[in-house]
Amino acid sequence: MGGVMPNNVCFVVDGFNLYHSVVRAHKETGINCRWLDIWTLCDSYRYLLGPDSVTTQVHYFSALAHHVEARRPGTVRRHEAYIRALKATGVTVELSSFKEKHIRYVRQREIDVDIVRHEEKETDVAVGTRLVECALDPDCGSIVLVSGDSDIAPAIVAARKLAPRKPVFALFPAYKGNQRFRALVMGTIKIRYSQYALFQLPDPTVTPAGSVVRRPSDWA
């Protein structure tokens, strides 16, 4: 006997957009929620897509900030620990990289100042690519983009064109939003900053291989 087919929901998470939201929540509340359980956080919202919805994929996109190690030692180590913990919950992690950008200022009397900054742009492309892949994936029934970054808007347009019957939603991190997204997606949802404290990874987190990942002490 046939039954109602489940609505398989695929979440695509812009890690930096979400991270900056969590950092702001920490500043405003004093609660450090960096050990965020992204899978369960996303899953807590999928009921809004219907009673038959099931979270089947969570894709997290970020990059390791090696360039900040000199002034913030341990940044990469902490992020790598977090990534291992996320993978243990079933999250698919895709990493890009930071690129140097030289900004040259020429001031009076030929004073030449060269400022080096680091920008992470590959993540936007990777997130957009995944959106399109989910649109073409027959096992994905609905797509939820967790971001408020306007750079991803063209990928939403492409996904809707390729699969016009497949709904795309935007889940905005706390303090984030994007008016353009509202015109492109079927619906928008806003994460409340108080949710971050409710959805934290176990400490320690045990991986499928049996290794233990602990929350960094300075994330307590």
Ranges of each domain in the chain: 7-219
> How far apart, in whole angstroms, are the C-alpha atoms of residue 88 and residue 82?
10
| Six-digit token string for 211 | 């290794």
The residue among 210, 169, 160, 173 whose CA lies nearest residue 188 is 169
Question: What does the pLDDT average to over 146-155?
Answer: 95
Render 153-211 in DSSP notation, one character per residue: HHHHHHHHHH-TTS-EEEEEPTT---HHHHHHSSEEEE--TTHHHHSB--SSEEPTTS-
Task: Please tell me the least confidently modeled range out of 79-83, 113-117, 145-149, 182-186.
Answer: 113-117
How large is the average pLDDT for residues 37-65?
A: 96
**What whole-number distance in Å separates Cα of residue 37 and Cα of residue 25?**
15
Above 60 in pLDDT, residue 140?
yes
Q: Is-contact 74 28, C-beta < 8 A?
A: no
- Residue 108 pLDDT > 80, yes or no? no
CA distance 159 to 59: 16
SS3 state of residue 133: helix
Mean pLDDT is lowest, of 73-77, 144-148, 199-203, for 73-77
- Give the model's confidence band at 3: pLDDT under 50 very low, under 70 low, under 90 confident, else very high: low
pLDDT-based confidence at 68, cuts 50/70/90?
A: confident
68 or 83, greater pLDDT: 83
DSSP state of 51: T
Residues 155-182: what's their mean pLDDT? 96
What global pTM score does this model have? 0.89
Q: Is the pLDDT of residue 131 over 70?
A: yes
**For residue 175, what pLDDT is reported?**
96
Superfamily of chain region 7-219: 5'-nuclease (3.40.50.1010)
Q: What is the pLDDT of residue 85?
A: 98
The pLDDT, as a whole number, for residue 107 is: 57
Please tell me whether residue 136 adopts helix, strand or coil conformation: helix
Residue 102 pLDDT more than 50? no
